[in-house]
Amino acid sequence: MQSTACAVTMLRDDLFFLEIWLRHYGGMLGRENCYIVAHGRDPRVLEMAGGCNIVGIPGDHHKNFDMKRWRLLNNLVMGLNAYYGHVIVGDVDELVVIDPEAGMTLLDWLEEAPQRRVYTPLGLEVLHLPEEEPEAIAERVLGPRRHVRLAPHYSKPCIVSVGTKIARGGHYTQFDKLFTPEALYLFHLKYADVAAYSAVMDRRNAVTEAVGVDSHKDAAIGRHWFAEARGEDRAVFDAFAAMSRAEGFDMRPARKAMQRSWQPRGSTGFWEFDRPEDDRLFRLPDRFAGAL
């Protein structure tokens, strides 16, 4: 059992993404180094995640669940940091990938990476273009899906080897230095498949309805969980296909912009960088096929 790195996530019903998460982290780190907090101890999760460390919690819907979720994750990360060199933490549809150009696995990279740091991979959102990419996601995501957009919101400080507090949503920490290695990316898969997207949104809308609140502020969760903010699902993906196409795949300017804008997040104790919108569609280089 290796002690270089482990991966931590929490989920409710997201079996499509759990399968991908397990294949990626379970195959690379070993399932014995994967920690899953499961709402309600869904028997399907227990079966799929056999060999992982599963923490079951009550599955009842309740207010402020995202705040409570990150309180639990913060403490779990802090405890695991006593046993592992690095702890990778994030939502089940967010996965850290090393650029194949580095010639090593993520675990290899972490074995050599200095500790007592927080690493922030560059966020890329995988976008499904159904007319150009009819192949279903099966054994791999990248290959059947080849297009991404820059997603500063998902450039998350998610590899932790120092005692620090992570903000709700995982977007900020109280660690005051920014490390953004060129080889690391965080791929967000919310839009990686049109059918999976619709299924996830159905479940999220059901959660907010069950909680019985009128505002995302009352539930301490994102506005996008509410049915009135949803819109037409297929229109979302049609808009991706209409985006302007970027030339090449040079992500150095994005990382430099993160460094230039690094600053305290007001008086909260957290640190942040600017998160400008980028409406360009990038095609991943062929080397990424099969990396996830």
Structure tokens at 155: 């450039």
Q: What is the mean pLDDT of residues 202-208?
A: 58
| pLDDT recorded at residue 263 | 98
10-14, 51-55, 74-78, 266-270, range with the lowest pLDDT: 10-14
Local structure of 217: helix, strand or coil: helix
Average pLDDT over the chain, rounded to whole? 91
* C-alpha–C-alpha distance, residues 292 and 290, integer Å: 5
Residues 6+ apart with CB under 8 A from 127: 145, 147, 148, 149, 191, 192, 237, 240, 281
DSSP-derived secondary structure letter, 167: P
pLDDT band at 225 (very low <50, low <70, confident <90, very high): very low
Q: Decide if pLDDT at 68 tops 60.
A: yes
| pLDDT recorded at residue 241 | 93
Structure tokens at 273: 């960088």
Both ends of the chain: CA-CA distance in Å? 23
Percent of the chain scoring above 90 in pLDDT: 77
Report whether 74 contacts 174 (CB < 8 A): no
* C-alpha–C-alpha distance, residues 37 and 92, integer Å: 10
| pLDDT recorded at residue 65 | 77
Q: What is the mean pLDDT of residues 52-77?
A: 87
Output 52-55 pairs: Cβ under 8 A, ≥24 positions apart. Answer: 52/22, 52/26
